[in-house]
Amino acid sequence: MLKEKARIAVLVSGGGTNLQAILDAQESGIITSGEVVLVISNNKDAYALTRAAKANIKGLYISKKELKTQAAFEAALVNAMEDYEIDLIVLAGFMSILSEGFTSRFTRRIINVHPALIPSFCGKGYYGLKVHEAALAKGVKVTGATVHFVNEIPDGGEIIAQKAVEVLDGDTPQALQRRVMEQAEWIILPQAVEKISKEICS
């Protein structure tokens, strides 16, 4: 039976600006093949959970620290995916590495947005502002964002979409981070969500 819409879970750790970009894309008709039905954060104070509540989307707090082990944390995530019949998992600033045991259960069903042009400035330790600090330290003239499938290797899955962003003279990591979000992440992440959702439903 063909699904009308892919059921999407967005995993976040912070403010949820990429979550908001996805929700806005649903509103504007960029995303028509999928629908966010669940938001999970490993940080109970994440503003992303407030965004979810405002959009009448179920929000869950699942903490590895409180569950003590990676196995217990991932078991709780799997249970949530099953309870909400999730088809696609979107990592949008989720500050927790997932094991092969988890990622292999959802092959080609987990996507992540990374704030650089993979294979530059990616892998373990490259997240958040650290990515932009590294790009500026290297003196690159072009950076950007990448949406990719998630496997057991951090930032190692097949690339779905990329968009380049110019690095400007005098950029701070914060200014560059903002430009990469506005000019790349918030554009290609919703597009990728629609692309993969459409494939799931077809």
For the segment 11-59, what is each residue's pLDDT rounded down to a tens digit?
Answer: 999 999 999 999 999 999 999 999 999 999 999 999 999 999 999 999 9
Q: How many CB atoms are closer than 10 A to CB 16?
A: 24
For the segment 98-155, what is each residue's pLDDT rounded down to a tens digit?
Answer: 999 999 999 999 999 999 999 999 998 999 999 999 999 999 999 999 999 999 899 9
Is 72 among the domain residues?
A: yes
Query: What's this model's pTM, rounded to 2 decimal places?
Result: 0.95
Is 76 among the domain residues?
A: yes
For the segment 55-97, what is each residue's pLDDT rounded down to a tens digit?
Answer: 999 999 999 999 999 999 999 999 999 999 999 999 999 988 8
Is 179 among the domain residues?
A: no
Is 167 among the domain residues?
A: no
Note down the domain range covering 14.
6-114+145-162+184-201
> What CATH number is attached to the domain comprising 50?
3.40.50.170
Tokens describing residue 172: 């701070």
Q: Which residues are the active-site residues?
A: 114
Distance CA 153, CA 137 (A): 25
